[in-house]
């Protein structure tokens, strides 16, 4: 294997990875042409995703092999429960999403598939497995948001969803997460590395399905 473990995982997950990072859903966010109906269905489903994602961060915190790693993960948990959560609440108010649809919507197939993968990692994933799924979710979002134009759309629904994933603190968290998976990945045997690759490919496919579910 030449290059880093995460770069190997990513390159072996093409063409899906690039399809996520350059998805037309993100282009519509950038130019402000995203219809409210699509943003609404996406955010309602994504709120269900973020809930399970927070549980997965908890699993990473529990399974980390060193105190500095636990501290870094704890810091990211604060972000999901503060900035990100207020965005969802303000967006739901703006889009007039009723309380029941915020908390218990009918879940789309793409949402269920992702939640099942995260729940599975939560109960039986190793630290490397959990990191792999986290890396896909965070790195792919950091990558599409890095493509944003300098002039952001006027509507906060669009601009804040971009800046949540395109700021110095988030970039640093994603950098740490990839470096952490590189560190842990180097200690794995071939069978465990292959398992991480299967998980990376599956999670990348689920990211693509998730955007497609609210686009095509
Ligand atoms: C389908 C889907 N995949 C990834 C993310 C990205 N994401 C999920 S929680 C979180 C905050 C963690 O720091 C981020 C960036 C998303 N929102 N929806």
Q: Any residues with Cβ below 6 Å from ligand 1, and which?
A: 46, 49-50, 53, 76, 79-80, 84, 137-138, 141, 165, 207, 210
Which class in CATH covers the domain with range 5-213? mainly alpha
pLDDT value, residue 92: 97
Distances (CA, A) of 36 to 102, 103, 112, 186: 16, 20, 23, 44
Top mutation candidate among 56, 134, 138, 204 for ligand 1, by most atoms within 8 Å of CB = 138
Dump pLDDT digits (tens) for 83-142: 777 899 999 999 999 999 999 999 999 999 999 999 999 999 999 999 999 999 999 999
Ligand 1, atom nearest to 46 Cα = 18
Look at residue 82 in the predicted model and tell me its pLDDT. 78
Whether 84 has a binding-site annotation, put simply, is: yes
Q: What is the pTM of this model?
A: 0.96
The answer on whether 14 is annotated among ligand-binding residues is no
Exposed, middle or buried, 125 (CB in 10 Å: 0-12/13-18/19+)?
A: buried
* Residue 56 contacts residue 36 (beta carbons within 8 Å): no
Catalytic residues: 207
- Of ligand 1's listed atoms, the one at least distance from the Cα of 76 is 13
Q: Residue 43 corresponds to which tokens in the numbers above?
A: 């955010």
Sites in the chain below the pLDDT cut of 70: 1-2
* Residue 138 marked as a ligand binder: yes
């Amino acid at each position: 294997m030449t290059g880093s473990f995460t770069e190997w995982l990513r390159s072996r997950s093409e063409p899906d990875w690039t399809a996520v990072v350059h998805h037309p859903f993100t282009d519509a966010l950038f130019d402000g042409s995203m219809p409210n109906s699509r943003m609404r269905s996406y955010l309602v489903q994504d709120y269900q995703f973020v809930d399970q994602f927070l549980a997965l961060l908890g699993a990473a915190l529990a399974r980390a092999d060193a105190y500095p790693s636990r501290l870094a993960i704890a810091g990211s948990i604060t972000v999901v429960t503060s900035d990100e959560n207020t965005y969802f609440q303000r967006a739901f108010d703006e889009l007039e999403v009723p309380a029941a649809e915020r908390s218990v919507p009918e879940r789309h197939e793409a949402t269920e598939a992702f939640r099942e993968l995260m729940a599975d990692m939560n109960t039986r994933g190793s630290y490397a497995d959990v990191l792999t799924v986290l890396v896909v979710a965070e790195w792919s979002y950091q990558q599409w948001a890095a493509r944003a134009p300098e002039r952001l759309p006027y509507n906060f629904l669009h601009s804040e969803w971009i800046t949540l994933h395109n700021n110095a603190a988030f970039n640093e968290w994603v950098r740490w997460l990839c470096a952490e998976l590189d560190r842990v990945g180097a200690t794995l045997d071939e069978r465990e590395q292959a398992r991480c690759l299967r998980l990376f490919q599956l999670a990348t496919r689920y990211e693509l399905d998730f955007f497609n579910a609210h686009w095509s």
